[in-house]
Structure 1
């Protein structure tokens, strides 16, 4: 939800943001009109209410025909006040509904355009010399030889895009997530195990029920939603609260199962565990002062890059284009790992600066000398199931084994190599 003052005072900035995203600019004028209608109807209600109060003071001292006339007018005013209040309420509801339509205003410097219009900020690490195409084994072939991934039985039990992580596959996922949680705790984040079912107002408050609502699983019988990231639960953690940021940002690291319908992705990444319906993730989440959000965003990206270095995969950082941002994000950086089997980059992490967009919807504020104001929220991935893909492919060895990155070895019993099952 945007600040109405911004829309009133700088509508061109909001229009430019909508245009850069490839979204309608008409909503800005609609919001301005709805805001004017609300203020006009509220003014009329307050004028009539003031007249009603003044009249009620005059009636006791009046007599005869004058009193009768005042009583008649009082009755008329009562009806007019009721109608004016209803009109003001309707105007407020219309404005509230419209206010949920525009996406967050992008930060200056975000590339305009769609999915392919990102800017590459840097590339880190050397791509492994494994050959390309069919010469490099893909993660599923490697995972099956290690006895780590079973998509066939996953599909038998649950359908397409489900899988079992077995043996060392399960241990590898836990190693990634435990390293992520340890990294977060060392950086001062509070570790959290979060709910994976949330109420509609929490899911809506984070901005996930807009254009991409069809990606979210809904449990109709209970009117609850399965989260696609612990960001949702962590954003709702302080909903309708006044938080204390006097000692710096409030930072949480949430570990949860995550669920995505992957609607609209028919035919994309159907092999293996790149694009699946269920996975695990450790997500960073930060509440900070609005003026600190840009710097906090860089810090979250820094922790993500620390994890990229820890799993020893070549990666690049991209500044995502406006049209490829979620509704809540004002800017998003992705870390993409090199995928040898497909000779392409694969997103492993993203971090978003949501400014005050989510906090306005969820009622998260801080107290200042001038009263209360909304805080900024930010999020970023610190470890997830998909990382198995990049690790298996980039660390595969000619003999069929997989080298374990040094940082993960303590979480895998000191193992340096993962070897094919039966060897």
Structure 2
């Protein structure tokens, strides 16, 4: 949610932001609605104030004066009812459109319409040249008996899979490495709810607009959803609270399964485990005071944590500054990390690092009291630390050997009992 006072003062900035982010919202119409809504709201408040005044005066009246007052109160009551109903209609429309207005991209965000216009910032690691025929992660997973996509589809439908044996152990080792990395960096670890209310999805900016990507649970009150990222429950942890500035920053890490419908991606990335309905993720969430310089420092820190994770896994990657057209509604700055995937012969997105300023906090009513006693909205940020099974694609493919085995990166071996490689079951 944006700062409405700033929108009224500088609407051209938000019109430009909507254009750059390629979002369909008529801000000029909203401002006209906003003016009408505020005018009617003032009128209804004046009518109710007059209604209260008449109620007080009525106690001291009698006879003809009392009858006149009662007649007057009847007219006012009718006006309050009529204008109040109209105000409710305007308010519903006002709130609906307000939730669609995007935040302003940071000044360093480049123009562009989609991921093809993102700007590479830096690379790490060497893209390998294999001297033997390359196997992709699907073939490797099948040969090593660690990934079973066929039975996953049989049991759960398209975009599902089983990890088994050393595949399951490898995934857990990756998640534990990420948890330990963040714990040592001062993060508080969370095992959050996997089912959240609509308010949490709306508060973090996924609703309205992202409903088709979420699994909706048909329960009694019809408002529960499976999370697509632990960002949702963890960022919502302090919803409707006023923190003390001395408590900030909050460095949180959510570890959870995640669920996404992948609506609209029919026929896209159907091979293997790149785009699936269920995956596991360690997510970084930062809540800090309203200071852009501090927010930028946190952005760089959580980006560094994700890069360090990939370096520990010995996987080449690149970091790109995301263009305005590829950003979400609430994001003011975003960097993607893409990891080299040999079978695809290109980098594939594995991490997204996002800064929101107060966009999420306004929706969540997440505030803090500063040293002078003033109440301000917090700033929020988030970034993937690791997500799997997608990261298994580069890991298995990059570390495959000519004999069909896969070397386990040094950083993971202590989590796998000292095991150094994954070998086919017949070996």
Structure 1 length-normalised TM: 0.93
What's 1:184 paired with? 182
What's 2:33 paired with? 34
Do 2:33 and 2:94's aligned partners in 1 also have CA atoms closer than 8 Å? Answer: yes
What's 1:406 paired with? 410
Could you tell me how far apart the structure 2 residues matched to 1:138 and 1:98 are? 46
Secondary structure of 1:317's counterpart equals strand
Could you tell me how far apart the structure 2 residues matched to 1:249 and 1:296 are? 9
What's 1:124 paired with? 124
Using the TM superposition, give the Cα deviation of residue 349 of structure 1 relative to its aligned residue in structure 2, in angstroms: 1.1
Using the TM superposition, give the Cα deviation of residue 331 of structure 1 relative to its aligned residue in structure 2, in angstroms: 2.0
Could you tell me how far apart the structure 2 residues matched to 1:352 and 1:82 are? 45
Using the TM superposition, give the Cα deviation of residue 56 of structure 1 relative to its aligned residue in structure 2, in angstroms: 4.8
1:373 maps to which of 361, 372, 376: 376
Larger displacement relative to structure 2 (233-242 or 185-194): 233-242
- Residues 378, 153 of structure 1: CA spacing in aligned structure 2 closer, same or farther, 3 A cutoff? same
What's 2:283 paired with? 283
Secondary structure of 1:268's counterpart equals coil
- CA deviation map 1:116-149 (0-9, x unaligned): 1111111111111216xx9321111112222211
Do 1:19 and 1:25's aligned partners in 2 also have CA atoms closer than 8 Å? Answer: no
Could you tell me how far apart the structure 1 residues matched to 2:126 and 2:154 are? 39
- CA deviation map 1:236-278 (0-9, x unaligned): 2211112234243112111111111111222222221111111
What's 1:362 paired with? 364
- Residues 126, 41 of structure 1: CA spacing in aligned structure 2 closer, same or farther, 3 A cutoff? same
Secondary structure of 1:246's counterpart equals helix
Could you tell me how far apart the structure 2 residues matched to 1:107 and 1:128 are? 36
Structure 2 length-normalised TM: 0.92
Using the TM superposition, give the Cα deviation of residue 372 of structure 1 relative to its aligned residue in structure 2, in angstroms: 2.1
Could you tell me how far apart the structure 1 residues matched to 2:55 and 2:261 are? 60
Structure 1 residue ranges without an equivalent (≥5): none
Do 1:21 and 1:114's aligned partners in 2 also have CA atoms closer than 8 Å? Answer: no
Q: How many residues align?
A: 420
Using the TM superposition, give the Cα deviation of residue 71 of structure 1 relative to its aligned residue in structure 2, in angstroms: 4.0
Could you tell me how far apart the structure 2 residues matched to 1:116 and 1:152 are? 33
Do 1:173 and 1:384's aligned partners in 2 also have CA atoms closer than 8 Å? Answer: no
Could you tell me how far apart the structure 2 residues matched to 1:371 and 1:141 are? 59
What's 1:333 paired with? 335
What's 2:317 paired with? 315
Could you tell me how far apart the structure 2 residues matched to 1:31 and 1:361 are? 18
Could you tell me how far apart the structure 2 residues matched to 1:271 and 1:41 are? 56
2:398 maps to which of 385, 390, 394: 394
- Residues 23, 367 of structure 1: CA spacing in aligned structure 2 closer, same or farther, 3 A cutoff? same
- Residues 73, 316 of structure 1: CA spacing in aligned structure 2 closer, same or farther, 3 A cutoff? same
What's 1:4 paired with? 4
Q: Following superposition of structure 1 onto structure 2, how do residues 34-183 of structure 1 map, counting pairs within 5 Å?
A: 34-56=33-55, 68-112=67-111, 113-130=113-130, 135-183=133-181
2:345 maps to which of 329, 343, 346: 343
Secondary structure of 1:284's counterpart equals strand
- Residues 50, 153 of structure 1: CA spacing in aligned structure 2 closer, same or farther, 3 A cutoff? closer
What's 1:415 paired with? 419
Secondary structure of 1:208's counterpart equals coil
- Residues 255, 85 of structure 1: CA spacing in aligned structure 2 closer, same or farther, 3 A cutoff? same
- CA deviation map 1:18-50 (0-9, x unaligned): 000112352x11221222112211221233334
Please tell me whether residue 383 in structure 1 is matched to residue 361 in structure 2.
no
